[in-house]
Amino acid sequence: MNRGYLMDKIYSLSTSYSLFKGEFNENKYFLFNIEDGTIYRLNEVSYDILSLFDGIRNVEKIIELFIALYQGEQDKMMADLKKLIDIWLDKKILVSGGE
């Protein structure tokens, strides 16, 4: 499902989730659902993107930062990122929040 959103929309990580970065059992990046206990193993890119959703930056800014960080083909990166954000919104990993 392609949820419509505005580039100036602000999102943050839901309080039901917690991001973790560190050495543990050879994995480094995790997303924990602290309500139902589900553990998501992330890659570095997903971790970095999710970390940017701080409830202050809007989507446009986050995309700019991401493209600058990973320097790839802009149109493809933007499309991939938008898909990820849609998924995270659907799963309520990201929620509306902040100004």
Partner 1 sequence: MNKNEQNSQNAKDEFYFQWHFLEQCNLRCVHCYQEQYGSHELPREKIFVIAKIMENTLRKWNKIGRVSLTGGEPFMQKDLLVDLVDYFNRSDQFARIGILTNGTLIDDTIALRLKSFNKLHEIQVSIDGSTADIHDRIRGQGNFLKAIEGIKILKKHKLFVSIMFTLHKLNQNDVLDVIDLAEKLNVDAITIERVTPISTDDLTNLYIQPAELHRIYNDIYMRKQEIEQRSGLKIRVSRPLWTLIDEKIGGFCPVGFTSLCILHDGSVLPCRRLEIPLGNILTDGLYKIWYTSDVLWKIRNKKLLTGKCNGCTYLQNCGGCRSVAYHVNGDYMGEDPQCWRK
Comparing CA positions, the residue from 79, 77, 85 lying closest to residue 59 is 85
20: contact with partner 1 by CB under 8 A: yes
Contact 29, 48 (CB under 8 A): no
22: contact with partner 1 by CB under 8 A: yes
58: contact with partner 1 by CB under 8 A: no
Stretch that binds partner 1, among 3-11, 31-39, 57-65, 86-94 (CB under 8 A): 31-39
35, 44, 60, 64: residue in contact with partner 1 (rule CB under 8 A): 35
Q: How far is the CB of 24 from partner 1 (least distance, A)?
A: 6
The span from the CA of 33 to the CA of 37, in Å, is 5
DSSP-derived letter for residue 93 is S
46: contact with partner 1 by CB under 8 A: no
- 30-33's contacts with Cβ under 8 Å and 24+ in sequence apart are 31/93
**Contacts with partner 1, residue ranges (CB under 8 A):** 18, 20, 22-24, 30, 32-39
